[in-house]
């Protein structure tokens, strides 16, 4: 009948005989008749692949992706180079059609890949433990905030206004329901207002969330803030760009307690925002309260090294109501994708990607601000993203750019009126020098 | 069949209490360690914590379960068994020799609410 | 000889598996822009391998995995059905995969509403548990907006999946557990006993976690609504009822779907999934933003939801997963989805009848898409449900779900799904029967299982006591 339904009418008859029923309708006798759906579902009938392809290709044709538009848009989602091997390895059905590795003997592929992912995340972030994954940066920041509150037994979390506005919004939702207070620390000149932070830190503060580099691409003075945060016996939670850590000091070196962030840049496609990869790493002190799955190394009964989901007593299927988090399905395949990416780039590549992104962004910045038509919005050190003041509405500029095949930067006025007409531009190693020259030239002409 | 010792008090949550003058040694019974399986971690309160009867004392974790330990009698925590940090499996080996905490007994009359050997044995044979 | 290496153990300094264009900005030095305080000092202990080594490493690792494409997963409550390849093709189309979320807009929503019998849908939640959380947030907001501040409790049956009570806690509610009857249905008297003006709602799955249809659902819904509460539907068991009955018609106010269960999107070894939430009109104004609005055939992202609970995820949800589910729904259509549920239920009952002489059926009545056994029919102390499960692996199958639901002792939950052929079911049934015999005659075979897998039974206690959670360079 349908390619995904193998039962022939003969099969059905044989099975009904074994069960002792007349027809398949009888299977549903336990459902009260008054609840039964008496009509067909109001959906189109089944379609062949040829028809489905026609429909989906038609829909796709209405989209322009970043293969057609040269991408200078970032704001949390980045067009980094994705090595070809990734797709070929991760699309192996043994990885993507596998279930959660609750039976470790037949899931060593998934478990070892994730163990390697955890290992690389630990050295990248400088932390002692990493979990398998969370949904995304926004929810992992929220889970980090809740973790801090549970650990310190304090009821408030401070969040910098220089965090990605999407993360701020999700944090507000999550924490308001969990009855953890959220207070925002002002932004000043593109960084967290340190004096405002000092004022707001009190005995009720469980943790402070800072982004590194922040939403505006700026590298903030984490050290000074870290000192006052820890003096207050609060936890430092940092939301980081994993690519930047190829060259910037790791959050571990900066004494973070909890590290979260977006792993999309680690070999994932943009996927219109999802699925992506939230990650969380922490000090070993917090290990037993960390949400999410964790893979550990052990031995089998023949003394062979093996990997298994461990510390499961933290999770919902055991702790139920008392679990710190309700997470069950996560983003495992995306963690495996990140592992393959990090293994492919390796020690040298992670550094080179970071360096080239940095240099190309700074080159673009210098060229764009050369003539004086565009001025820097902030006077701050940045990594691969920067903001410029524009002489006309950003949406207008972006329309003009689109006509020339370029996806322009983010309109900052949309999230912060005070910043006026200003654009947040991201430049990664994936941009060629020609693309950058063309971009600058067009920007000058608009 | 689980071991139940003479001279101890027992709770419905499978804790045992050994009283030595004003102090109470608290642990979990053979029945408890058996149902939990291999114990991998014990979360204990801090010395000096004041805990009331029926409040949470700590958690005992095994691979497949996490059990809250309920305070059988009120008191201030005088000692915690630090051996359990590195070797939580001691509880599996000898549940009555490895207490979790020692507390200062606040109110001896609370012991009247606990079970003795026979009552506890009857209780667990119903559960088994 | 099984492959045993970690990627770090293949590493050799100087090897490369990537190439970037040459750096033409040689005169630029990062240290001129960023002070030493923020430049990395610690070595990045990443491997250095060639491209072939990367490919070979992960290919060999993948071969140690069991997967749907290579075998049957009768996992109750997980709906491990076939993951259609056209879904993957569509999701990989760069015109879907390479869209930046902040690009200008368009997408899909109507089908989910129809199947559920609800009035509004959000595709934001990234997993079933995430959807549960959103549903509970909607319920909380509903009561908050009515200034009904006493309602801070949610009733959850003791047969519920662990995410239910965990989500309740994350949403800031207290849990009230209500006992189930022996057949897994809600104990109506017990329910009446806990209903009060402090109850915000009840979370339920139907069919229940024992795979049986909750016959009294109308009465339950009425009781909860009369007490002023709302009803939440955990959509994990949706595969039993598509086109047969709808949660909206049963009286539920809000639900989540698991796209990675009912709607064929792949499990990925644990994720990504997706848990869209659908609700009745009474909760519509609280839905997370953005919703998708349409205006004359053009779709747009609607941030104007008056009393929204806010945002629950970056961007719009797991778009790539939703896309796959959409393709599945297009392929199956109204007739296909109903046939899927019908066959799923047929297969499960066939399993039940065929195995009930060897395994103890928890409740002997017509089941829905899954059947729960309380372990072996002949009770034995010599082998546990775990041993049975591990022995199933020796025969080349993934074991069923074990020890869930908690209210059935030594439970084995079997959900064949509709995409398995009768031949597969029959072969599996033979294996299960064989193992039941072995349990009596040669129990050591079960206790030592599995025998031929890449690794044998693991020391999980050791894993939890001596924690090695990442590789360390010696």
CATH number assigned to the domain comprising residue A303: 3.40.640.10
The size of the A-B interface in CB pairs under 8 A is 18
Q: Which of A64, A137, A321 sits opposite C166 (nearest CB)?
A: A321
CA distances to B42, B75, C54, C116 from B57, rounded to whole Å, are: 11, 11, 49, 45
pLDDT of C114 over the 80 cut: no
Of B3 and A131, the one with more pLDDT: A131
Per the structure, the count of domains in chain A is: 2
Chain B: give the shortest CA distance to residue C368, in Å: 29
Q: With CB atoms and an 8 Å threshold, state whether C461 touches B41.
A: no
Q: Which chains pack against A, by 3+ Cβ pairs within 8 A?
A: B, C
Indicate the range of A170-179, C298-307, C369-378, C400-409 predicted with least confidence: C298-307
What is the tens place of the pLDDT at every residue in A380-409?
A: 999 999 999 999 999 999 989 988 999 999
C67 occurs within a structural domain: no
The answer to whether residue A403 is domain-embedded is yes
C115 pLDDT above the threshold of 60: no
Taking the CA of residue A343 and the nearest CA in chain B, the distance in Å comes to 31
The predicted structure's pLDDT at residue C319 = 87
pLDDT tier for residue C296 given thresholds of 50, 70 and 90: low
The third-level CATH classification (topology) of the domain covering B9-127 is: OB fold (Dihydrolipoamide Acetyltransferase, E2P) (2.40.50)
User: Which among A292, A295, A269 is positioned nearest to A110, based on CA atoms?
Assistant: A295
Sequence-distant (6+) residues with CB within 8 A of A108 are A306, A307, C61, C64, C65, C454, C455
In a domain, C72, yes or no: no
| Euclidean distance between CA atoms B115 and C104, whole angstroms | 70
Tokens at residue A25, please? 């309708």
Residues A430 and A313 in one domain: no
Mutation target among A285, A296, A313 for the B interface, most CBs of B within 10 A = A313
Q: Are residues C229 and C369 in the same domain?
A: no
Residues C96 and C48 reside in one and the same domain: no
Claim to verify: residue C224 and residue C252 sit in the same structural domain: yes
Q: Which long-range contacts (CB under 8 A, 24 or more apart) does B13-18 make?
A: B13/B68, B13/B69, B13/B70, B13/B72, B14/B124, B15/B69, B15/B70, B15/B72, B16/B95, B16/B96, B17/B72, B17/B73, B17/B111, B17/B114, B18/B99
Does the pLDDT at position C252 exceed 60? yes
The alpha carbon of residue B5 is apart from the nearest alpha carbon of chain C, in Å, by 26
Give the residue-averaged pLDDT of C160-180: 89
pLDDT score, position A286: 92
- Given this model, what pLDDT does residue C109 score? 41
- Sequence-separated (6 or more) residues with CB below 8 Å from residue C177: C155, C156, C157, C158, C165
Residues C421-439, mean pLDDT to the nearest whole number = 96
Q: Which chain A residues are Cβ-neighbours of C345 within 8 angstroms? A: 24, 27-28
> Smallest CA–CA separation between B67 and chain A, in Å?
9
C233 lies within 8 A of chain A by CB: no
| C316 closest CA partner among C175, C39, C125 | C125
- Report the residue of chain B nearest C458, measured CA to CA: B63
Domain that holds residue A306: 84-341
Does the structure show a pLDDT above 80 at C213? Answer: yes
**Chain A contact set for C242 (CB, 8 A):** 41
Convert C268-291 to b/e letters by CB count within 10 Å (16 or more is b): bbbbbbbbbbbbbeebbebbbbbb
Q: How near does any CA of chain C get to the CA of A331, in Å? A: 4
pLDDT score for C107:
34
| pLDDT (tens digit per residue) in B65-120 | 888 899 999 999 999 999 998 899 999 999 999 999 999 998 889 988 899 999 99
Q: Are residues A213 and A298 in the same domain?
A: yes
The tokens describing A237, both together, are 């939670």
Token duo for residue C377: 């029919």
Within 294-313 of A, beta carbons closer than 8 Å to C belong to 294-302, 304-306, 308, 310-313
In this structure, the answer to whether residues C259 and C150 fall within a common structural domain is: yes
For the stretch A300-355, pLDDT in tens is: 999 999 999 998 878 878 778 777 788 888 899 999 999 999 999 999 999 999 99
Question: Smallest Cα–Cα separation from A345: which of A213, A202, A245, A248?
Answer: A245
Sorting pLDDT into bands at 50, 70 and 90, what band is C139?
confident
Looking at the structure, do residues A308 and A414 belong to the same domain, yes or no? no
Please determine, for residue A141, whether its predicted confidence score (pLDDT) is greater than 90: yes
Range of the domain at C38: 7-62
CATH number at residue C366: 3.90.1150.10
| Cα dihedral B26/B32/B37/B41 (nearest 10) | -30
Over range A207-213, report the average pLDDT: 97
Q: Which residue is associated with the tokens 């943009």? A: A270
Domain ends where: A290, A322, A341?
A: A341
Residues C323 and C395 in one domain: no
A-chain residues within 8 Å CB-CB of B68?
322
The minimal CB distance from C98 to the residues A65, A101, A323 is found for: A65
Asked if B41 is an interface residue toward chain A (Cβ–Cβ < 8 A), one would say yes
- The DSSP result for A307-374, as a single string, is EEEE-GGGSHHHHGGG-S----S--HHHHHHHHHHHHHHHHHHHHHHHHHHHHHHHHHHHHHHHSSSS
C304 in the same domain as C191: yes
First to last CA, chain A: 58
- Gap between the Cα atoms of C315 and C312, Å rounded: 9
Distance of CA A30 to the CA centre of its chain: 44
B contact residues 8-67, partner C, Cβ 8 Å cutoff:
37-38, 40-41, 61-64
Residue A158 β-bridge partners: A183, A208
| C387 and C284 housed in the same domain | no
- Interchain CB contact of C460 with B (< 8 Å): yes
**pLDDT beyond 50 at C108:** no
Q: C236 and C370: one domain?
A: no
A280 and A136: one domain? yes
pLDDT at residue C298 above 90? no
Residues 9-38 of B with CB under 8 A from A: none
Cross-chain Cβ contact B41/C464 below 8 Å: yes
Q: Which residues of B touch A153 (CB under 8 A)?
A: none
**Cβ–Cβ contact C137 with A under 8 A:** yes
Residue C402: is it exposed, middle or buried by C-beta count within 10 angstroms (0-12/13-18/19+)?
buried
CA atoms of A330 and C432, how far apart (whole Å): 32
Q: H-helix or E-strand containing A144?
A: helix A137-152
A435 or A62, which is more confident: A435
CB A378 within 8 Å of CB A218:
yes
A345 interface with C at CB cutoff 8 Å: yes
Q: Please answer yes or no on whether C95 and A36 come within 8 Å at the CB atom.
A: no
Residue C288 lies in a domain: yes
Q: Which residues in chain B touch residue C464, judged by CB atoms under 8 angstroms apart?
A: 40-41, 61, 63
Domain boundaries, chain B: 9-127
Which chain B positions have a beta carbon within 8 Å of A312's beta carbon?
63-64
Average the pLDDT over A187-204 and give the result: 96
Mean pLDDT (chain A, rounded): 93
- Measured CA to CA, the distance from residue C277 to residue C268 in angstroms comes to 22
Please tell me if residue A50 touches chain C, with a CB cutoff of 8 Å.
no
How far is Cα A267 from Cα C48, in angstroms, rounded to an integer? 17
Residue A384: cis peptide before it, omega within 30 degrees of 0: no
A127 with A77, same domain? no
Residues A358 and A319 in one domain: no
The answer to whether the beta carbons of residues C154 and C199 sit under 8 Å apart is yes
Q: Which of B61, B63, B89 shows the shortest C-beta gap to C460?
A: B63
Same structural domain for residues C11 and C157?
no
Residue C443 has pLDDT above 60, yes or no: yes
CA–CA dist A105, A298 (Å, integer): 12
Cα–Cα distance for residue pair A387/A147, rounded to 1 Å: 33
pTM recorded for the entire structure:
0.92
Output C315 or C16, whichever has higher pLDDT.
C16
* Contact check, Cβ <8 Å, A313/B65: yes
Q: Are C94 and C207 in a shared domain?
A: yes
Using a pLDDT cut of 90, give the percent of chain A over it. Answer: 84
Those chains having 3 or more beta-carbon pairs within 8 angstroms of chain B are A, C
pLDDT digits (tens, 9 = 90+) for A85-124: 999 999 999 999 999 999 999 999 999 999 999 999 999 9
Q: Which residue has the tokens 């074990």?
A: C402
Comparing CB atoms, the residue among C460, C463, C465 nearest residue B88 is: C465
3-state SS class at A292: coil
Which residues on chain B are in Cβ contact (under 8 Å) with C463? 63
> How far apart are the CA of A319 and the nearest CA of chain B, in angstroms?
7
A162 shares a domain with A277:
yes
Residue of chain A whose alpha carbon sits nearest to that of B40? A311
Taking the CA of residue B63 and the nearest CA in chain A, the distance in Å comes to 7
End-to-end CA distance of chain B: 9
Q: Which residues of B touch A318 (CB under 8 A)?
A: 64-66
DSSP E strands in A74-185: the ranges are 129-130, 156-160, 181-185
CB atoms within 10 A of CB C111: 21
CB contact under 8 A, A135 and C42: no
Q: What is the pLDDT of residue A274?
A: 82
- State residue C379's pLDDT score: 81
A200 & A170 share domain? yes
Are residues C314 and A49, on separate chains, in Cβ contact within 8 Å? no
Spatial CA neighbour of B52 closest among B105, B114, B116, B13:
B105
A322 in reach of chain B (CB within 8 A): yes
Q: Minimal CA–CA distance to C416: which of C395, C405, C401?
A: C401
Chain B touched by C464 (CB under 8 Å): yes
pLDDT one-digit tens code per residue, C372-410: 999 999 888 889 999 999 999 999 999 999 988 888 989
Question: Which chains reach chain C with 3 or more Cβ–Cβ distances below 8 angstroms?
Answer: A, B
Exposed e or buried b for every residue in C130-162, given b needs 16+ CB within 10 A?
bbbbbbbbbbbbbbeeeeeeebebbbbbbbbbb
A207/A307 same-domain check: yes
Closest CA to C108 of C274, C247, C262: C274
Asked, for residue C110, whether it belongs to a domain, the answer is: yes
* pLDDT tens, residue by residue, A238-274: 999 999 999 999 999 999 999 999 999 999 998 888 8
Angle at Cα C171 formed by Cα C125 and Cα C226, nearest 5°? 100
- For residue C466, whether the previous peptide bond is cis, meaning omega lies within 30 degrees of 0, is no
Distance from the Cα of B63 to chain C's closest Cα (Å) equals 6
- Are C12 and C113 members of one domain? no
Residues A85, C51: C-beta atoms closer than 8 Å: yes
pLDDT in the model for residue A66: 87
**Strand pairing partners for C411?**
none
**Residues with Cβ < 8 Å from A358, sequence gap 6 or more?**
A247, A383, A384, C30, C33
Domain end among C310, C331, C352: C331
Is A11 a residue whose pLDDT tops 90?
yes
Are residues C43 and C93 both part of a single domain?
no
CATH code, domain with C165: 3.40.640.10
C347/A7 Cα distance (integer angstroms) = 9
- H or E, element range at C300: strand C298-302
- Split into its structural domains, chain C has a count of 3
């Amino acid at each position: 009948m349908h390619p995904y339904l193998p039962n022939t009418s003969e099969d059905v008859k044989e099975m009904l005989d074994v069960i002792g029923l007349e027809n398949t309708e009888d299977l549903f006798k336990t459902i009260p008749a008054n609840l039964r759906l008496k009509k067909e579902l109001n959906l189109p009938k089944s379609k062949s692949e040829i028809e489905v392809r026609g429909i989906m290709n038609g829909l796709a044709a209405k989209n322009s992706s970043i293969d057609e538009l040269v991408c200078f848009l970032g704001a949390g989602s980045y067009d980094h180079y994705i090595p070809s091997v990734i797709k070929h390895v991760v699309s192996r059905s043994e990885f993507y059609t596998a279930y959660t590795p609750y039976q470790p003997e037949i899931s060593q592929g998934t478990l070892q890949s994730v163990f390697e992912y955890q290992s690389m995340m630990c050295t990248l972030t400088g932390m002692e433990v990493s979990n398998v994954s969370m949904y995304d940066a926004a929810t992992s920041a929220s889970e980090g905030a809740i973790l801090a509150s549970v650990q310190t037994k304090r009821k408030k979390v401070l969040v910098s206004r220089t965090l990605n506005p999407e993360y701020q919004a999700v944090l507000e939702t999550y924490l308001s329901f969990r009855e953890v207070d959220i207070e925002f620390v002002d932004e000043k000149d593109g960084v967290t207002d340190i004096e405002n932070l000092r004022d707001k830190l009190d005995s009720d503060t469980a943790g402070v969330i800072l982004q590194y580099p922040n939403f505006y691409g700026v590298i903030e003075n984490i050290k000074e803030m870290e000192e006052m945060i820890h003096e207050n016996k609060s936890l430092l939670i940092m939301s980081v760009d994993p690519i930047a850590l190829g060259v910037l000091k790791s959050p571990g070196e900066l004494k973070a307690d909890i590290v979260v962030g977006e792993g999309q840049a680690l070999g994932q496609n943009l996927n219109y925002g999802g699925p992506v990869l939230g990650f969380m790493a922490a000090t070993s002190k917090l290990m037993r309260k960390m949400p999410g799955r964790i893979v550990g190394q052990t031995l089998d009964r023949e003394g062979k090294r093996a990997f298994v989901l461990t510390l499961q007593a933290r999770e919902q299927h055991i702790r139920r109501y008392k679990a710190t988090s309700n997470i069950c399905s996560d983003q495992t395949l995306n963690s495996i994708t990140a592992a393959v990416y990090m293994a492919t780039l390796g020690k040298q590549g992670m550094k080179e990607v970071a360096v080239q992104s940095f240099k190309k962004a700074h080159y673009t910045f210098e060229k764009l601000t050369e003539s004086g038509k565009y001025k820097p919005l902030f006077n701050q050190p940045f990594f691969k993203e920067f903001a410029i003041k524009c002489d006309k509405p950003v949406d207008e500029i972006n329309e003009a750019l689109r006509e020339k095949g370029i996806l322009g930067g983010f309109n900052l006025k949309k999230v912060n009126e005070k910043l006026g007409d200003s654009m947040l531009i991201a430049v990664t190693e994936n941009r060629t020098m020609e693309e950058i020259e063309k971009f600058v030239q067009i920007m000058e002409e608009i | 069949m689980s071991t139940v010792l003479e001279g101890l008090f027992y709770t419905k949550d499978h804790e045992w209490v050994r009283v030595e003058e004003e102090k109470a040694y608290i642990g979990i019974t053979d029945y408890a360690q058996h149902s939990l399986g291999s114990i991998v971690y014990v979360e204990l309160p801090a010395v000096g914590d004041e805990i009331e009867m029926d409040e949470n004392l700590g958690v005992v974790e095994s691979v497949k379960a996490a059990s809250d330990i309920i305070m059988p009698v009120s008191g201030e925590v005088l000692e915690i068994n630090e051996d359990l940090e590195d070797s939580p499996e001691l509880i599996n080996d000898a549940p009555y020799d490895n207490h979790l905490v020692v507390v200062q007994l606040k109110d001896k009359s609370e012991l009247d609410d606990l079970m003795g050997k026979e009552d506890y044995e009857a209780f667990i044979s119903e559960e088994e | 000889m099984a492959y045993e290496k970690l990627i770090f153990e293949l590493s050799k300094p100087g090897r490369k598996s990537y190439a970037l264009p040459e750096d033409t900005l040689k005169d630029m030095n990062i240290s001129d822009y960023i002070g030493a305080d923020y430049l990395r000092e610690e070595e990045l202990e990443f491997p250095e391998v060639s491209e072939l080594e990367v490919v070979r490493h992960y290919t060999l690792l993948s071969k140690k995995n069991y997967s749907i494409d290579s075998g049957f997963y009768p996992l109750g409550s997980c709906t491990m059905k076939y993951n259609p390849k056209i879904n993957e093709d569509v999701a990989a189309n760069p015109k879907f995969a390479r869209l930046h979320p902040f690009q200008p807009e368009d997408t899909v929503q109507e089908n989910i509403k129809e199947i559920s019998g609800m009035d509004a849908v959000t595709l934001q939640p990234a997993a079933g548990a995430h959807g549960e959380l959103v549903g509970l947030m909607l319920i909380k907001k509903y009561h908050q907006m009515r200034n009904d501040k006493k309602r801070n409790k949610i009733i959850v049956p003791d047969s519920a999946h662990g995410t239910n009570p965990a989500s309740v806690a994350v949403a800031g509610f207290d849990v009230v557990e209500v006992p189930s009857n022996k057949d897994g249905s809600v104990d109506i008297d017990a329910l009446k006993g806990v209903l009060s003006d402090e109850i915000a709602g009840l979370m339920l799955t139907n069919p229940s976690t024992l795979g049986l249809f909750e016959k009294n659902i109308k009465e339950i819904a009425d009781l909860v609504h009369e007490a002023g509460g709302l009803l939440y539907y955990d959509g994990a068991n949706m595969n039993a009822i598509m086109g047969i009955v709808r949660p909206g018609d049963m009286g539920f106010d809000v639900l989540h779907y698991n796209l990675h269960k009912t709607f064929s999107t792949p499990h990925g070894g644990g994720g990504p999934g997706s848990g869209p939430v659908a609700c009745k009109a009474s909760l519509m104004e609280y839905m997370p933003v953005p919703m998708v609005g349409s205006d004359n055939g053009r779709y747009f992202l609607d941030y104007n939801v008056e009393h929204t609970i806010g945002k629950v995820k970056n961007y719009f949800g797991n778009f790539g997963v939703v896309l796959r589910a959409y393709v599945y729904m297009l392929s199956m259509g109204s007739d296909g989805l109903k046939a899927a549920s019908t066959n799923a239920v047929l297969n499960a009952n066939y399993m039940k009848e065929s195995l009930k002489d060897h395994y103890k059926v928890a409740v002997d009545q017509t089941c829905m898409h899954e059947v729960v056994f309380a372990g072996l029919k002949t009770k034995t102390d010599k082998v546990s449900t775990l041993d049975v499960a591990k022995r199933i692996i020796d025969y080349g199958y993934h074991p069923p779900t074990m020890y869930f639901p908690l209210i059935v002792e030594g439970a084995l939950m079997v959900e064949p799904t509709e995409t398995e052929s009768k031949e597969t079911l029959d072969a599996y049934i033979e294996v299960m029967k064989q193992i039941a015999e072995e349990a009596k005659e040669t129990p050591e075979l079960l206790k030592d299982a599995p025998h031929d897998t890449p690794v044998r039974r693991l020391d999980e206690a050791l894993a939890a006591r001596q924690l090695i959670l990442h590789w360390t360079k010696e």
